[in-house]
Amino acid sequence: MGPVVPPPPGSTPQHQASAALARSASLLSIGAVASRILGLVREMVIASYFGATGLVSAFTVAGTAPKMLYDLLVGGMLSAALVPVLSDYARFDRDQEPRPEKGDPPPEAAQFGPNPELVRLVGALLSLSVVSLAALALLIFVFAPQVASLLAGDFDDFDPALLPLTSHLLRLMAPVVWFLSMAGLLTAVLFALQRFSLPALATAVYNLGILVAAPLLAGRIGIASLAIGVLAGSMVQFGLMAWDVRRAGLRFTVEWSHPALARIVRLYLPIAAGLIVAQFQVGLDRRLASSTGVQSIAWMSKATTLQQLPLGMISVAISLAALPRLSQQFAAGDEGAYRATLARGLRMVIVLIVPLLVGLGLLAEPAVRVLFERGQFTAADTAQVGSALHVYLVGALFAAIDFPLIYAFYARNNTLLPALVGVLSVLVYAVIALVLLEGLGFLGLVWADTAKQGAHAVVMLGLLYWKLKTVSGRGRPSDAEDGLEFSPKRYIGPNVRTAGTVVGAAAAMGLVMAWLLSLLEPVGTPSLSNDILRIVVGGGGGALAYAGALLLARQPEAWQLYRAAMRLGRLERESER
């Protein structure tokens, strides 16, 4: 007997919660899609103006340092400590009447009324960050040559001019650390208030910087135009977040201490330790890649951009949308609701990520040609990026499952276990990278990254199973009466069934796509029109086969998505009338 199709959305509290999660995830997904599309356009612009040359590798390395520091100082803290703690303070105002404000705020603005303690906590976070981040940006500017040499010292073996260029670009982008980190802190505040609209679009706006700067400035200042674009994009992102925080009713106050700061630090220290190791892996990856040729970093960067597209659209969006809800359910001691939210999120990820990865894998080379092969980007570059992408997509499947698992631990204020697993996965990367580098070149580093993702996801899945089983029966007293105590059959079984159904549907999709692509195989040199035709026909046919297989199997999440699409279509038709 197949899975029972759930009742219409809104008919049960569980489906109301699922709908709320879907709405939040949809907002973040829309933003992620916009950001990834603009990110692709950004990479297309870079490829057209500068190809996959050493200049692009120098820019990529220069951008690595600010990104590493952002990830270390704010990026990891955002989900691990800031959102859970801020959500805990914000939830105390959940039952208050909406606070009157000037203008006509959106509905999400009234979900929380900021209390004085939340305002004080935000003030303390921002006051300390303004000063410390400014000092850090100054240090990056002063020590840019040393940082560039540390990350890409092997450039000297191929082109002595690249290392000074990397240092110059790094100095141009030093203030990006301040703007991105401050924007990240404000994003955490908005997530805690369950305001997702502008944070979802902020990263898309960030990508616009390069899209505007490159055409305007590339002819005059060359590759430095990209650094100027990154700086401009980070400034606009910070400005948008600051404006939305003010719209939410929060006003900046200068505070230098708050009791919750110690809690944030306590939660973040294990993550910081793990991130230091993770950033070591990023630095090692850049340094080893620089030893395989000046183009390797550029090739890997293009492949990573395509790999991150489905991850950002699906897994990250769903995980971020679920995090505040998971944090509040854990804080309320509602273990049954916590497990149900996590299970729904995992099933959403599995159903949506697999077809994107399968389709991108089968269409890798035509997609790379359509997106990048013009101007300074050659057919040889396409072949190298396509080879890397095929390997990265294997790791993307593990990474997609990994995001909800990591955030589930963060919501429980448990940052130590994910950090320890992160250290273990980096050790896996280092060993495999050093073993494969000599024989496979930069592709050895790509395989090592894939092995790291796989090791991390498998260990996290085992730890989460152990954790949920351990805390079973320690939630609300009513959980046992409601049948919500943890059991593999209740909480793991549906995910396993979903995975099995998805594998079958993905196999059908792959067969249909392979058949269609064989019919459209070009004779001689592939043309742009043929590549676009293969992507549209092959991808469209595969998507229909996948969706049809899931609907025939009566997969619940697929039917929920189908109903949502039908409702959206009806609303559009009614609006046209």
Render pLDDT for 201-240 as a digit per residue (tens, 0 to 9). 777 888 888 889 988 998 889 999 999 999 999 999 999 9
Choice between 294 and 476, residue whose per-residue pLDDT is larger: 294
Average pLDDT, rounded, for the chain: 79
Residues 450-495: pLDDT tens digits?
Answer: 999 999 999 998 888 777 766 554 444 444 444 445 455 555 556 6
**Averaged pLDDT for residues 501-524:** 85
Of 486, 331, 315, 341, nearest in space to 18 by CA: 341
- Residues 6+ positions from 137 with CB-CB distance below 8 Å: 174, 175, 177, 178
Query: What pLDDT score was predicted for residue 472?
Result: 52
The average pLDDT across 43-63 equals: 87
> In the chain, what are the domain boundaries?
13-99+107-476
Q: Which residues contact 142 (CB under 8 A, 6 or more apart)?
A: none
| pLDDT of res. 327 | 80
CA dist., res. 159 & res. 152, Å (int): 11
How much is the pLDDT for 30? 75
pLDDT the model gives residue 564 = 56
Rg, the chain, Cα only: 24
What band does 332 get if pLDDT is binned at 50, 70 and 90? confident
Element (H, E) at 123: helix 116-142
CB 225, CB 138: distance < 8 Å? no
Nearby residues of 121 by Cβ (< 8 Å), 6 or more positions away:
85, 86, 89, 255, 258, 260, 261
pLDDT for residue 79? 60
Residues 6+ apart with CB under 8 A from 12: none
The mean pLDDT of 543-555, rounded to a whole number, is: 82
Question: How far does the chain reach from its first CA to its final CA, in angstroms?
Answer: 43
Predicted confidence at residue 392, as pLDDT, reads 93
What local confidence, expressed as pLDDT, does residue 278 receive? 78
Evaluate if residue 6 carries a pLDDT over 50: no
Tell whether the model's pLDDT for residue 43 goes beyond 70.
Answer: yes
Burial of 459 (0-12, 13-18, 19+ CB in 10 A): buried
pLDDT band at 525 (very low <50, low <70, confident <90, very high): low
- The more confident residue out of 90 and 506 is 506
pLDDT bucket at 91, cuts 50 / 70 / 90: low
Average pLDDT over residues 312-317: 80
Higher per-residue pLDDT: 209 or 528: 209
Confidence category of residue 261, pLDDT binned at 50, 70, 90: confident
Residue 315: Cβ within 10 Å count: 27
pLDDT tens digits, 422-459: 889 999 999 999 999 888 888 999 999 999 999 999 99
Token pair of 425 as six digits: 């996965």
pLDDT of residue 415: 76
563, containing H or E segment: helix 556-576
Residue 118 has pLDDT above 80, yes or no: no
How far apart, in whole angstroms, are the C-alpha atoms of residue 313 and residue 198? 16
257 vs 136 pLDDT, higher one: 136
pLDDT band of residue 281 (cuts 50, 70, 90) is confident
What average pLDDT does range 287-300 have in this prediction? Answer: 86
Per-residue pLDDT, 550: 81
Three-state secondary structure along 401-441? HHHHHHHHHHHCCCCHHHHHHHHHHHHHHHHHHHHHHHHHC
Look up residue 167 and give its amino acid: S
Q: What's the rounded Cα separation, in Å, for the pair 516 and 371? A: 21
Q: What is the pLDDT of residues 15-27, one digit of tens each?
A: 445 555 556 666 6
Evaluate if residue 67 carries a pLDDT over 80.
yes
Flag whether pLDDT at 339 surpasses 90.
no
Q: For residues 314 and 29, is the Cβ–Cβ distance under 8 A? A: yes
Cβ atoms of 36 and 206 closer than 8 Å: no
Q: In the predicted model, is pLDDT for residue 53 greater than 70?
A: yes
Residue 102 has pLDDT above 60, yes or no: no
